[in-house]
Structure 1
Amino acid sequence: MKSRPILFSAPMVKAILEGRKTQTRRLIKFVAPSGNISYRRPAGDPLITETQNTQGYTTRTVPEGLMLQCPYQVGDQLWVRENLRLDAAGFWVYAADRALVEFDPEHEAAALVWADHKDKEHCPSIHMPRWASRILLEITEVRAQQLRKISEEDALQEGIHEDLLPAHLRYGKELPSPQHAFGHLWESINGKGSWDANPWVWAITFKRVKP
């Protein structure tokens, strides 16, 4: 069993705390013919077989051996990194719900040193120290799939909620399907066009365990 950090935005942290999020998707790394690693292989790559269905969607089949070994394994643990902020009283809190950052007495010295050297009122998730992590996840399933193959059930397990949608969709005549809602969430994180690119991802299912 391995333990490794994983980043989540404040809305996704909140969804985990509320029990609405039990899945996450992370881009798969591929090995290019040159030996370099890239996250996306271009359309038309001779090493990829492409087929098109009746709806016009293209399915790309990746030859065995091109995917790097999955870094996420069933049984591994993920400790969540999230954004921290200083509140008006001078205490560090979690940005997702403003809960006070607490730590075990054994980490007190490290926490004090970290706080003394922190000269800003915000700590991005990438810099959150291990002792401040309050959420521990255990991986229960890992699948490789193309992003747009996500099912309605899986989209809901990603923590999709109407509050995460852009205003023009949230207050429209009809809410988009969970898959389309997830597509908007994915693009808000990974940039315009990232949903249409339909990259290969690791679909990771997890459960929350005690830290």
Structure 2
Amino acid sequence: MKKIMFNDKYSLTQAVLDGRKTMTRRVCKYDRPNETYDIVFPVFEPNDYDNDGNIVSPLNYAFGWKNDKGDFTGWNIPKYKVGEVVAIAQNYSDCGNMPDYELDEDGYPIMPKRSGFFNKMFVRADLMPHHIRITNIKIERLQDISDKDCLKEGIYKGQCGSADTHFMDAYYYKGDIQPYCTPREAFAALIDKVSGKGTWESNPYVFVYEFELVD
């Protein structure tokens, strides 16, 4: 089983567990090198389909970039597949599950520096108590996100102002009290925090994973 990580600093893991976040965007490995490159998709053969007509090739939803000289970037391949159940990565200290660590002379577990107790990057997927199921995958530029999808990404609606003047609708993400006029403005600020300053402005191609919480 695979695992997926969400940012804890901005409470995105908790947003998934609360059912407020049902979508995530992951930057594709290969962007379009320049305007001479056109998008290309795999050509599937009969053995790439199962008996029900579903594509079972690992290149399903993959795409790449190629120019008329034959230069090819390589395939952008989604990490997850529609229908796949994926473990939500959490530190062992947060989720309560732990592997069998070797004990020291006092009976305390010996945790290596790269321990899932401290860093969820190193946890085992089979020990995670919560899972999501991928329900849809699409490819788009980051800035093509809709207001509706921003809310699925964990942006939430609130208000700003005061009773002395008037209240107005605003949008926020956890970990920041700055109000934004639109969901897209809030998401743009969030993605730059999570994925690095300038991510929104660079407008990369992304895989968009929509999912549902299983447990």
After TM superposition, the score normalised by the length of structure 1 is 0.66
- Equivalences, count: 161
Identity %: 25
1:27/1:153 Cα in 2 relative to 1: closer, same or farther (>3 Å)?
Answer: same
Superposed structure 1 runs of 4+ greater than 6 Å apart:
none
8 Å CA contact 1:20–1:157 kept in 2: the answer is: yes
8 Å CA contact 2:23–2:208 kept in 1: the answer is: yes
8 Å CA contact 1:76–1:138 kept in 2: the answer is: yes
Match of 1:117 among 92, 107, 110: 110
Letter in 1 for 2:189: H
User: Larger radius of gyration, structure 1 or 2?
Assistant: 2
Match of 2:4 among 3, 6, 10: 6
Match of 2:122 among 118, 123, 127: 127
Could you report, residue by residue, the CA deviation over 1:117-172 in whole angstroms, capped at 9, with x for unpaired residues?
216696122112334412111111000111111111111011113242644x23xx
Name the residue aligned to 2:144: 149
After TM superposition, the score normalised by the length of structure 2 is 0.65
Name the residue aligned to 2:68: none
Match of 1:160 among 149, 152, 155: 155
8 Å CA contact 1:6–1:81 kept in 2: the answer is: yes
Match of 1:78 among 69, 83, 86: 86
RMSD: 2.5
Q: 3-state DSSP class of the match of 1:138?
A: strand
Q: 3-state DSSP class of the match of 1:195?
A: helix
1:47/1:70 Cα in 2 relative to 1: closer, same or farther (>3 Å)?
Answer: same
Name the residue aligned to 2:211: 206
1:80/1:113 Cα in 2 relative to 1: closer, same or farther (>3 Å)?
Answer: farther
Matching of residues 14-163 of structure 1 within 5 Å: 14-30=14-30, 40-42=31-33, 44-48=34-38, 62-64=39-41, 65-66=63-64, 67-82=75-90, 84=91, 93-94=93-94, 101-102=96-97, 110-113=99-102, 116-118=109-111, 123-161=118-156, 162-163=172-173
Counterpart Cα distance in 2 of 1:148 and 1:7: 22
Task: Report deviation, 1:176.
Answer: 2.8
| Gap regions ≥5 residues in structure 2 | 42-62, 65-74, 157-171
